[in-house]
Amino acid sequence: MELEQLQNISTPCYVCEEELLEKNLKLLDYVQKESGAKIILALKGFAMWSTFPLVSQYLKGCTSSGLYEARLAREEFCKHNPHAEVHTYSPAYKDEDIDEIAKISDHIVFNSPSQLFKYKERIKEINPHAELSLRINPEVSSSPKDIYNPCGIYSRLGTTLANFTKETKGFDEEVLKHIDGLNFHALCEQNVDALEEVLVAFEEKFSKYFKGLKYINFGGGHHITKEGYDVEKLIRIIKAFREKYDVEVYLEPGEAVGWQTGFLVATVLDVFHNGMDVAILDTSAEAHMPDTLAMPYRADVRGSGEAGEKPYTYRLGGNTCLAGDIMGDYSFDMPLKAGDKVIFEDQIHYTFVKNTTFNGIKLPSLAIYRKDGTLDVVKEFGYEDYRDRLS
């Protein structure tokens, strides 16, 4: 989509390009068909439910991180694909949520044996068909940042081998009586070599428990749709694993679904000089692109270069009172002026699901650039969205 087509759009606004999203989905579906794995959408990374009529044509369901995501999956994904599966995982469940989670989930994943033993009978009474599994911590990961490393030291995510076996004789067998599968999640936007490394440790520690299980879930973080990802190797690994252990295999990517499928468009509100040129935009790194500060990483801006690379360099800043609400320093071929549009690339996965209304700043609208060339603004936000989060 070209900049000229966005001149009249009300900003800030996320734009998902339908054609690019379908390109990712087709690649993921190819992996499913060639490997026999089931790929489900991780809502924590991509929850633009207005695209579910398309997504549900390719993926087998959703994985959620709690009650509200599970409801979104059941209400908005499954209505387009009645055979879609809803998987729910939480580090710990609340008594007040577990009954509804049991009703709407096909698979419920526990973080610890204690949570499994606490809720297994209650869940089965409500939904006898629900399949239960345990999240494992293989204690191996090459995740690039500690904040995104689920297998780091003192991790709260997953059950280690020590906690799976404990000191009590037969504890592991007692756990196995009540579960249909095992899950692990150890990757963060990584290639298949990282999965291969994790699988070695996972099999070494837990493969003796695979017999009789229905499935193994390889979690998310597989950067399948990124250029250079070794898709064929992934297929070979999955096929070999399925044949070796006679189990179903699940993958649950989030960022791979929304990867490079759209952008955040903002408008320049003011430009001034304070040691360097500064441009204030009607968006915010803190509120609208939080991963750029948490990771941190420098988002690509369309038509820009590194500071000093092009003739005109600006520090791009957000429209909140946080001093550190800075997107970074970028250079442009022409001077920026109030009213110009600035496009931050690849902002459709993870970043917008983390939006806040910090400072009362307006949430970006959500739009889909359809394959027929039309721009469909599917959601706009206003004062009420800020007010109703408060009391």
**332 and 186 share one domain:** no
Please enumerate in sequence order all residues whose Cβ is within 8 A of that of 383, keeping only pairs 6 or more positions apart, or say none: none
Q: What is the DSSP letter of 320?
A: S
Domain extent for 277: 3-15+262-347+355-387
Strand pairing of 107-110 and 85-89?
A: parallel
Confirm whether 47 is domain-assigned.
Answer: yes
Q: Does some domain include residue 314?
A: yes
Amino acid 189: pLDDT: 82
Q: Indicate if 65 and 207 belong to the same structural domain.
A: yes
Residue type, 311: P
Q: Looking at the domain assignment, is residue 373 inside a domain? A: yes
User: Are both 250 and 370 inside the same structural domain?
Assistant: no
Distances (CA, A) of 190 to 14, 109, 194, 197, 233: 25, 23, 6, 11, 14
Within a domain: 246: yes
Predicted local confidence at residue 168, as pLDDT = 62
Q: CA triplet 60, 62, 68: central angle to 5 degrees?
A: 155
- 252 and 275 belong to one structural domain: no
What CA–CA distance (Å, rounded) separates 137 from 112?
Answer: 10
| 226 residue type, one letter | K
Q: How many domains does the chain have?
A: 2
Residues of the chain with pLDDT under 70: 1, 3, 142-144, 167-169
Distance of alpha carbon 138 from alpha carbon 216, whole angstroms: 13
Reduced to 3 states (helix: H, G, I; strand: E, B; else coil), residue 339 is: coil
Rounded Cα–Cα distance for residues 78 and 85 (Å): 8
| Residue 275 and residue 381 share a domain | yes
Q: What is the pTM of this model?
A: 0.94
Same domain, 111 and 214: yes
Burial letters for 327-347: b for 16+ Cβ neighbours within 10 Å, e otherwise?
bbbbbbeeebeeebbbbbebb
Q: Are residues 291 and 313 in the same domain?
A: yes
| Residue of 264, 345, 257 lying closest to 299 (CA atoms) | 345
Whether residue 31 is contained in a domain is answered as: no
Q: Are 69 and 94 in contact (CB under 8 A)?
A: no
Closest CA to 172 of 207, 199, 197, 140: 207
Residue 377, domain member (yes or no) = yes
* Same domain assignment for residues 234 and 267: no
Q: Measured between alpha carbons, how far is 257 from 273 in angstroms, rounded to an integer?
A: 40
Measured distance CA(89)–CA(63) in Å, rounded: 7
Closest C-alpha among 89, 21, 90, 88 to residue 59: 21
335 and 368 share one domain: yes
pLDDT value, residue 190 = 84
Instruction: Assess whether 277 and 361 both reside in one domain.
Output: yes
Q: Is 118 exposed, middle or buried (0-12, 13-18, 19+ CB in 10 A)?
A: middle
